[in-house]
Amino acid sequence: MTIEYSIKSGTEAADFMLSPINPAWILEGKPVARVALLSSSADGTASTYYWDCTAGRFNWFYSFDETLHILEGSVTLRDHLGRSRLVAAGDTVFFPPGSSAEWTVDQYIRK
């Protein structure tokens, strides 16, 4: 096993690859999502990814803890009770396992 000792920051260029949203989750539009690995712990239990997406409306279901920090753009998140909240660049959101949210991306988001 090779251990990499470089320091990476969230402002470096990312090597994105397509990461399609489950078609059954898409409610409106044709959102295109991409992902890029930023870091991973040596034991494989933690990782940090970039994720971006074009305009669309879709559901997202969380099977594990996820904390996200919005780097660019915004999204309106709607919870299972129908409450909506706009989150934008600089905001941080936590989703516990078993939660879900309806995402409405008006233009673009990168987290």
Which of 9-13, 39-43, 73-77, 94-98 is predicted least confidently? 9-13
**Percent of the residues in the chain that have a pLDDT greater than 90, as a whole number:** 76
Contacts of 36 (CB under 8 A, 6+ apart): 14, 15, 16, 17, 49, 50, 51
For residues 44 and 37, the answer to whether their CB atoms sit within 8 Å is no
The yes-or-no verdict on residue 53 having pLDDT over 90 is: yes
pLDDT band (50, 70, 90) for residue 5:
low
pLDDT digits (tens, 9 = 90+) for 54-87: 999 999 999 999 999 999 999 999 999 999 999 9
Q: What is the mean pLDDT of residues 22-39?
A: 96
In the 8-state DSSP scheme, what is residue 35? Answer: E
pTM, whole model, 2 decimals? 0.85
